[in-house]
Every structure is written in C-alpha cells, then in structure tokens.
Amino acid sequence: MAESNFIDYVKILCRSGKGGAGSRHYYRAKYVPKGGPDGGDGGRGGHIILRGNRNLWTLLHLKYTRHIFAGNGESGTGGRSFGKDGEDRTIEVPCGTAIFDSETGKFLCEVTEDGQEVKLLKGGRGGLGNWHFKTPTNRTPRYAQPGEAAIEKSVILELKLLADVGLVGFPNAGKSTLLSSISAAKPKIADYPFTTLEPNLGIVGYRDAKSFVMADIPGIIEGASEGKGLGLRFLRHIERNAVLLFMIPADADDIKAEYEILLREVSTFNPDLIDKPRVLAITKSDMLDEELMEEMRANLPEGISTVFISSVTGTGLTELKDLLWLTINDENNRIPTALTHRDLDIRHRVKEEDDFIFENEPVEDNYDEAEGDWDDEYWEEDHEDDDYTIPTT
C-alpha cells in the first residue's frame, strides 16, 4: 500500500485568513484643520474552499501539501479606503470526498459533483474604520475595530469512489479477474489471498456503446468488522454504488452461509447498505455442468437475482451484464434515497494519518493591542459577508 499512488485518506491542517484592522486615520488637508475621522475598513480574510474535480481520482496531492493557509486581509487606510481582501485557497478534491473533524470525527461536509464548491472555513471579517464610530458627541473617535480572528482546524479527507456497481466478496472470489475480463482495467491477479490491496475502477462496455462503472474493493472476511484481515476500511468505496454485486466461488462449502456472512459484515459497516439492490454471481462455474448447476440452485439464497459465471471461459458474462444494466436502470432504484452521514468511526480510521503531528506555525498579528477586542454588535449588517454555513447535502 505504501508504494501505491492511490490515497483515499489524508489529514491536513487548514487555516482561514484574519480580517484586516480598521484604520484610525484622520483627514488632513490644507485649510481643513479638523477634517475628522476617515479611516477605512479592513479587508476580509481568505476562505478555505473545497472544489470537486472529476479529473482527480486520489488524494495523493494533499498527502504532500498538508498545510493549507489562506491569506490575511489588509488593514484599511485613510480616505475611507478599504483594505485588500485576503487570498482564498481552493482545495481541489475528487468527487465523492467526505470531510471530517480530525479531533472529534464529526462529519462536516462532502463534495460529490464536478465543480461543486463548499466553503470549509470562513475568513475573518475586516474591522471597521473609525469613521463608523463618529457621533455628535464623539466627533473624533480615536479607536477602530480590529479584524476578526482566523479559524484553524485539522480535518480528515476521506475519498469514497463513485461507481455504478460495487464488487463484494471474500479473498480469491474472482473479483479482480471479472473486472479484467469485462473492462480494460488491469488489476493485480494472483493465487493467494488479499492480492487486491486498493480499490480498482473499470469501465464496462455494454450494447449500443453504453457503459457503466464497476468498482473492485479488497476482499473481506468474517470478523472484518472487528479488525480482522483488512478490516472494513475499504467498504466506504461501495457506499455510493447503485448496485452491490456479491461474488461467491462455485467451490464454496456453503454458498448461502457465505452470502449471509458478507451481508452481515456489510450491514455492520453501514446499515444503509442493506437497502441497496443486490445481485449474486457464482464464479468459477466452468467446473460445473448444467445438471450440477440445477442442483445448486435449490440451495441458493432467496430474494436475490443469481447468475453463474466464469471469467476464464466467458460463460454467463453477457447475462451478468444484462442483469446489472437492468438493475442499475430500474426506475425503483433511481429514486434518490437519503444517505446517512455518519461520523468517522474509530475502527475505520488510519492510524498513520491520525498520528501525524503538525508543526506549530505562528500567526502574524498586525493589530495594535491598544485597539482591543469588539463584540459582534459592532459589525454592521451591511458589512457582514455571505452565509458561512457549511452545506450538508
């Protein structure tokens, strides 16, 4: 896994920009001895923004850029001149990225569409200049408002691949072989367990130049929810799949029992997955004849469409693609269902990333300490920025 470029879990430190301080300038001109206050407002601090990019498929670029700091707003000047706003920092992420608070594991937001932008951290509002505070009884206010402080937060970005079909099965069930047979993907294939250590995507061609996306994830075993094998970490990649394809080899001791184990482990990870459409594929069927297949059908799980396939000989692959296409495009499956956004489970966290320690980088302070702090009531309504609420769609 260390040699792979596929990174689906990364911890980064984000900091928005501070607001610039308001100016305490007074107007001075020839023959104008008492020009009065004309200090301008400070500029707002830069935002931290997430943007979906369909051309990205991994979080590798963030693994080596862990500090994302927006620019600070500049202070206001005389003549009611506003300070320059701080530079926003935009983080490009793959579609399907979920963001969590690294300290509490709380779900913050997600990016699922190309070009979608989510404001993760707001920049501090700029302070008001002294001309805002002049009154008939205080014509020369000698104070201005400091800018609002920056927000710093360490967050975890977790990628969940977007695909139409997700493959679920035990190790050596033939998932990677199937993906290589019906798509141009070239996953690693070998005769030992846990050959697949990272998810693989493939575009499966269908009739009339149609296609759908299939995702192969590492195999799971009984007790994976307790941390056995590779655990359930990679099951996040099938949370957004339209159809789950369960794969069990024909030489299994008890196909029905193995299916129940897989279904139980999947539902343990996320109870919502139990409601997704499911298809069962009996792999390695080239060792079976028609008579044996008919005998096996009596002991197959009920309530699920089943097809016998062989990725080596191609038996049943056309029937499987027809069944998957019909299931994907079923009107009942197109009804949008609410995805439950769960907080990050400690069992699914990556210890190497969670233990990453950020070096302290001091924040420069360009405020005059004599200006003091101000309550929110001093920011005028027309000076406030737009809504900062993080959408949770």
Residue 262 CA from chain centroid, whole number: 25
Average pLDDT over residues 347-355: 65
Could you tell me the fold of the domain covering 165-340? Answer: Rossmann fold (3.40.50)
> Where residue 24 falls among pLDDT bands split at 50, 70, 90?
very high
Which of 298, 264, 263 has the alpha carbon at shortest distance from 280? 263
Could you tell me the fold of the domain covering 9-150+363-383? Answer: Spo0b-associated Gtp-binding Protein; Chain: A, (2.70.210)
d(CA 256, CA 214): 24
Taken in order 370, 373, 377, 380, the sign of the CA dihedral is: positive
DSSP string, 144-178: -PPPPPP-EEEEEEEE----SEEEEE-TTSSHHHH
d(CA 128, CA 150): 17
d(CA 277, CA 326): 11
CA atoms within 13 Å, Cβ hemisphere of 178: 32
Q: Evaluate whether 41 touches 83 at the Cβ level (below 8 Å).
A: yes
pLDDT in tens, 89-115: 999 999 889 899 988 888 999 898 899
pLDDT in tens, 198-219: 777 888 888 888 888 888 877 7
- Give the global pTM: 0.72
Q: Evaluate whether 221 touches 170 at the Cβ level (below 8 Å).
A: yes
Domain spans of the chain, in order of start: 9-150+363-383, 165-340
pLDDT in tens, 263-315: 888 887 777 788 888 999 888 888 777 788 888 888 888 888 888 988 888 88
Token reading at 187: 């996953």
Q: Evaluate whether 148 touches 45 at the Cβ level (below 8 Å).
A: yes
